[in-house]
Amino acid sequence: MPQDLDRLIAKSVRDVPDFPEPGVVFKDITPLLADSEVFGAVVAAVADHHRGATVDHVVGLEARGFIFAAPIALALGAAFVPVRKSGKLPSDTLSATYDLEYGTATVEMHTDAIAPGGRVLIVDDVLATGGTGRAAVDLVRRAGGTVVGFSVLMELAFLQGREKLADVELHALSVV
């Protein structure tokens, strides 16, 4: 892993003002994904951080969390579990609804995705307000799993999403 991973992440994530709506600065990770060295270093850094813990499942949050969670699951020898927006999964699901600035949203996970007692790492790209992350933690626990960690590429500290996840170990490769 490069010593200056935080600098590489900052250089590889593009700010897009007023997307998807006015006043929002979107963190575009596609330049990072286009650089195999940086992308590989991010996957390795998250996997290495969690190698000491037993991880049975890596949960990836739709949609950009999938991109990181799947290779991290492979690196850890764990199963990949998607948490998706409502109506996207084909079998029986558990759902969790959370607040947005302008309404609510719902995410779902298959009821049989995590065995009772399964040890789960949750992965996403950016931690903003923490609503999606909190919903994912709640889904894992309702399924009988134990959250052993929550890792993100980037934490937007000014939005205070960490506060909604105070009961889980949060690991951010970059904090802005």
Q: Which residue has the tokens 């029986």?
A: 92
Active site residue 142: no
Catalytic residue among 21, 101, 162, 169: 101
Query: How do 25-28 and 14-17 pair as beta strands?
Result: antiparallel
Task: Give the CA distances from residue 5 to residues 94, 106, 118, 145, 155, in Å, rounded to whole numbers and listed in that order.
Answer: 36, 33, 31, 31, 14
Catalytic residue among 14, 51, 62, 64: 64
Active site residue 169: no
* Inter-residue contact 79 to 73 (CB < 8 Å): yes
* Catalytically annotated residues: 64, 101
